[in-house]
């Protein structure tokens, strides 16, 4: 029965069906794409619209005034600089600590490796949101509250488990032959890491760095809880001033600011997207 059908199905019929399937799939995907694009369209159109409201409409009249209005030290430059300082220093710390930690985990056999890695993986999954109340309490007691460096330390730690996990996976992909040659020549393990391993895993370090930075740049809850003075707030929190004391919200300016604030992470993501590629084995990538 089966073999008869197998032989009896004409080729043209099957390819016609394949075309039909492709059309159906295209149609379904386009429908979803449009649904996902509508809110994004509002953002793009409203940022150029002088009289932007909540409803999506073509800019009327078209203007760059929204961008001009928000590109002031108070509204954009200071918060963006704060974001850069906070996320930049925290990313540097995370990547440095993760690189150091990944080296022994990747290169030496030890009975501590497995429990340590399991703990790390467990920590990548913990809901950071839940510990923000005690972190606030601790920060008040040790006078770290409302300090940029204290917040950076916490952000760095929150991203650290995932960065270690990712970094070790990348390091496992670097063959040990070259290092063994370096050891024979009398290099210490830290010299081998710095001179031999890191140059070979440049793309891996890049992915970890960009990924860590993107996660921190978008983080709202941590700086929202730990930073208080307005002149220290990063862009993710200062965006609230658009809803502030003035009563009415200027939606065009809110959209323009959102575009400026989102631009760096979108650019960075595009830069590493190829490397992440299909092999998205980044379990735990989107924890909050």
Partner 1 sequence: MRGARRTLLRGLPVLPSVLLLLLFLAGPIAYCAYIAFTDMQLTGASGTHFVGLANFRHAFADPGFRNAVVLTLVFTVLSSIIGQNTLGLGLAAAMRRASRPVRTVTGAVVIAAWVLPEIVAGFLLYAFFRREGTLNAILGWLHLPSQNWLFTLPILAVSLANVWRGTAFSMLVYSAALAEIPQDIAEQAEVDGASAVQRMWHVTLPMIRRSIGTNLMLNTLQTLSVFGLVWAMTRGGPGARSQTLPLFMYEKAFQQSLIGYGTAVALLLLVVGALFSVVYLRLLRTEV
Q: Within positions 143 to 202, which residues make up the interface with partner 1, using CB under 8 A?
A: 153-154, 156-158, 160-161, 164, 189-190, 193
Site for partner 1, residues 105 to 144, rule: CB under 8 A: 105, 108, 110, 112, 114, 116-118, 121-123, 125-138, 141
Residue 124 CA to residue 6 CA, distance in Å, equals 49
Residue 173, φ and ψ in degrees, nearest 5: -80, -5
Rule CB under 8 A: say whether 281 interacts with partner 1.
yes
Taking CB under 8 A as the criterion, the residue among 84, 92, 97, 250 binding partner 1 is 97
- Minimum CB distance to partner 1, residue 60 (Å): 15
Residue 49, φ and ψ in degrees, nearest 5: -105, 125
Closer to partner 1 by CB, 78 or 139: give it. Answer: 139
Rule CB under 8 A: say whether 38 interacts with partner 1.
yes
User: Quick one: which of 82, 91, 204 has its CA closest to 158?
Assistant: 91
Taking CB under 8 A as the criterion, the residue among 30, 64, 228, 271 binding partner 1 is 30
Residue 183 CA to residue 55 CA, distance in Å, equals 65
Rule CB under 8 A: say whether 206 interacts with partner 1.
no
Taking CB under 8 A as the criterion, the residue among 221, 228, 230, 231 binding partner 1 is 221
Rule CB under 8 A: say whether 213 interacts with partner 1.
no
- Part of the chain binding partner 1 (CB under 8 A), chosen from 59-67, 178-186, 205-213, 265-273: 265-273
Rule CB under 8 A: say whether 233 interacts with partner 1.
no
The token pair that represents 279 in the structure block: 């092999």
Closer to partner 1 by CB, 63 or 162: give it. Answer: 162
- Part of the chain binding partner 1 (CB under 8 A), chosen from 68-76, 172-180, 197-205, 264-272: 264-272
Q: What is the DSSP string of 174-238?
A: S-SHHHHHHHHTT--HHHHIIIIIHHHTHHHHHHHHHHHHHHHHT--HHHHHH--SGGG--HHHH
- Sign of the CA dihedral running 64, 67, 70, 71: negative
Rule CB under 8 A: say whether 218 interacts with partner 1.
yes
Buried b or exposed e, range 29-41, using 16+ CB within 10 angstroms:
eeeeeeeeeeeee
Rule CB under 8 A: say whether 285 interacts with partner 1.
yes
- Part of the chain binding partner 1 (CB under 8 A), chosen from 72-80, 179-187, 201-209, 253-261: 253-261
Task: Report whether 195 contacts 183 (CB < 8 A).
Answer: no
């Amino acid at each position: 029965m089966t073999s008869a059908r197998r032989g009896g199905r004409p080729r043209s019929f099957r390819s016609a069906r394949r075309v039909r399937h492709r059309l159906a799939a295209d149609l379904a995907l386009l429908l979803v794409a449009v649904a996902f694009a509508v809110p994004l369209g509002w953002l793009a159109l409203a940022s150029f619209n002088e009289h932007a409201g909540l409803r999506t409409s073509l800019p009327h009249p078209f203007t760059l005034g929204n961008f001009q209005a928000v590109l002031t030290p108070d509204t954009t430059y200071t918060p963006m600089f704060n974001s850069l300082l906070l996320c930049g220093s925290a990313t540097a710390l995370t990547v440095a600590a993760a690189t150091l930690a990944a080296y022994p985990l990747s290169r030496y056999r030890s009975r501590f490796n497995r429990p340590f890695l399991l703990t790390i993986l467990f920590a990548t999954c913990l809901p950071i949101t839940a510990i923000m109340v005690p972190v606030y309490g601790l920060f008040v007691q040790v006078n770290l509250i409302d300090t940029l460096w204290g917040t950076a330390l916490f952000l760095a730690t929150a991203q650290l488990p995932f960065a270690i996990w990712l970094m070790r996976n990348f390091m496992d992909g670097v063959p040990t032959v070259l290092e063994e040659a370096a050891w024979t020549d009398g290099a210490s393990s830290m010299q081998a890491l710095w001179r031999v391993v890191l140059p070979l895993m440049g793309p891996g370090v890049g992915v970890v760095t960009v990924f860590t930075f993107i996660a921190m740049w978008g983080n709202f809850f941590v700086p929202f809880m730990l930073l208080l003075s307005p002149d220290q707030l990063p862009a993710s929190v200062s965006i609230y001033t658009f809803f502030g004391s003035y009563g009415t919200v200027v939606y065009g300016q809110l959209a323009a600011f959102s575009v400026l604030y989102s631009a760096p992470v979108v650019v960075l993501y595009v830069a590493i997207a190829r490397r992440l590629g299909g092999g998205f084995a980044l379990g735990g990538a989107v924890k909050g």
